[in-house]
Amino acid sequence: MGICEGRVVVVTGAGRGIGREHALEFARQGAKVVVNDLGAEVDGAGSSAGPAGEVVDLIRDRGGEAVADGEDVSDWDGARRLVDRAVDVFGDLHVLVNNAGILRDRMLVNMEEAEWDAVVKVHLKGTFAPSRWAASYWRERSKAGDANDARIINTSSSSGIYGNVGQTNYGAAKAGIASFTVIAAKELARYGITVNAIAPGARTRMTENLSGAASREVEPGEFDARAPDNIAPLVVWLGSEQAAGVTGRVFNVAGGRISVAEGWKAGPGFDKGARWDPEELGTVIPDLVAEAQPNADMRGAV
């Protein structure tokens, strides 16, 4: 008996990397899993049914229940069909994990419109569309008098909440997902739905070419702090009944470390009590900025 025994879970982008590990751990904890993956390359090109099917086979070989799904989560009707598939096959839906994503990194001055649009579509619309259809399903249940213990778990990024050079498209989408999480949590609480997000750090196809710790060789027997399976325990717990009291939060998670990301808040300020003249601000704004905490680095540290 696992902590998600009998729960029905959809994981998007679950054919490889972090999403794959989410699907495997949910199944190990007793969930029935819809393994969604378009099978595309890191930049979103192409598609293949192979990765999702391989994860399903592995879950079934281990005695679990799973079904593959190849819908494009950034497509409005595709997202609806994904949610419907979970209900049609397993009879219900309890957890939606929005994990699918692509990269098209480029410095702002070199970025093309298509590179911006593709990344924002997959990450931001690919989070919104499945969430919208899942929330509608749960709302209808609530209106019919049925109680929900439902979860939406989104995937943000340190690039989005702290910032990373060369990723204005990716970071903007991931920052949007963090805000989406906070707002959706407020809107959906009345229906028995919690909404949280993670900002994971792990070695995947999207990070394997980076320098430093992400690509460092791990010695035999050494804890691999960059392994993608380190992210799954938090996501699975957030998807369990135990997490009913946690909503609207973004969690940093990498290796064995978990922390709560604290969002934007009002820092030092000054109220004149009247309209400012622009010239006056030269004696005010520099002092406020000097008094304020600096922006966090990519680790979330100040």
Position 298 confidence tier, pLDDT thresholds 50, 70, 90? confident
Mean pLDDT over 86-108 rounds to 96
Q: Which of 59-63, 215-219, 231-235, 289-293 has the lowest mean pLDDT?
A: 215-219
Report the chain's mean pLDDT, rounded to a whole number.
92
pTM, rounded to two decimals: 0.91
The per-residue pLDDT for range 38-54, each reduced to its tens digit, is 874 544 444 445 899 99
Q: What number is the average pLDDT over the span 97-123?
A: 95
pLDDT over 90 (residue 6): yes
Tokens of 224: 């691999």
Active site residue 170: yes
Task: Calculate what percentage of the chain has a pLDDT beyond 70.
Answer: 92
Q: What is the pLDDT of residue 213?
A: 45
How far is it, in rounded angstroms, from Cα 126 to Cα 271?
41
pLDDT of residue 16 exceeding 70: yes
pLDDT of residue 48: 46
Among the listed residues 156, 170, 191, 240, the single catalytic one is: 170
Which of 97-101, 178-182, 208-212 shows the lowest mean pLDDT across its residues? 208-212
Choose, from 157, 158, 159, 240, the residue flagged as catalytic.
157
Of the candidates 50, 154, 47, 167, the residue with the CA atom closest to the CA atom of residue 108: 167
* 169 pLDDT tier (thresholds 50, 70, 90): very high
Tell me, what's the pLDDT at 32? 98
Is 265 an active-site residue? Answer: no
What was the pLDDT predicted at 49? 59
Show me where the domains of the chain are located: 8-261
Q: Quick one: pLDDT band at residue 206, thresholds 50, 70, 90?
A: low
> Are residues 261 and 250 in contact, defined by beta-carbon separation less than 8 angstroms?
yes
pLDDT tier at 301, thresholds 50, 70, 90: confident
- Determine the Cα–Cα distance for residues 257 and 89; give it in Å rounded to an integer: 36
137 is catalytic: no
Residue 88's pLDDT band, with cuts at 50, 70 and 90, is: very high
Q: In what order do the strands lie in the sheet with 257-261?
A: 65-69, 32-36, 8-11, 95-97, 150-155, 193-201, 250-254, 257-261
Ramachandran region, residue 192 (left: φ > 0; alpha: ψ -120 to 50; beta: rest): left
Give residue for tokens 């070419």. Answer: 209
The Cα 135–Cα 129 span in angstroms is 10
Structure tokens at 118: 């593709």
Gap between the Cα atoms of 273 and 106, Å rounded: 44
Mean pLDDT of 222-240: 95
Cα(16)–Cα(40) distance, integer angstroms: 10
Q: The domain 8-261: what is its CATH number? A: 3.40.50.720
Q: What is the mean pLDDT of residues 159-171?
A: 94
Catalytic one of 131, 156, 174, 240: 174
Torsion from C-alpha of 32, 73, 206, 49, nearest 10 degrees: 70
What pLDDT shows up at residue 41? 52
Q: Name, in order, each residue with C-beta under 8 angstroms of 249's C-beta and a sequence gap of 6 or more.
A: 181, 196, 197, 260, 261
Contact assessment for residue 248 and residue 182, using Cβ atoms and an 8 Å cutoff: yes
